[in-house]
Amino acid sequence: MDLKTRKRLSLLILIIGLPGYIAVAWMLLAYVNDRWGRLPIWAEGLLVMFLGIVWILPFRRVFSGIGKSED
């Protein structure tokens, strides 16, 4: 995949995919809180950090080298 295509795809992922993923993570946290009650702050923080890392893993190749010039 060439650099120009990866730049466009990464922009699309950030504009559409990231807000969608945030909504899904928010609903997951609400489900966990409804199911088992409010988690301790440290557990909730770990879950948020885990979800924040997991969303990017499938897109590592797309985002690699985005800051480079197109020379």
**CA distances in angstroms from 54 to 48, 50, 58, 59, 67, listed in the order given:** 10, 6, 8, 10, 22
Residue at 22 is within a domain = yes
Q: How many domains does the chain have?
A: 1
Residue at 43 is within a domain = yes
15-57 tens-digit pLDDT: 998 899 999 989 988 998 899 888 899 998 998 899 889 888 8
Task: Please give the Cα distance from 54 to 27 (Å, whole number).
Answer: 16
Domain containing 39: what range? 3-63
Residue at 68 is within a domain = no
Residue at 12 is within a domain = yes
The mean pLDDT of 3-24, rounded to a whole number, is 90
Residue at 70 is within a domain = no
Residue at 71 is within a domain = no
Residue at 69 is within a domain = no
Query: To which H or E segment does residue 61 belong?
Result: helix 60-63
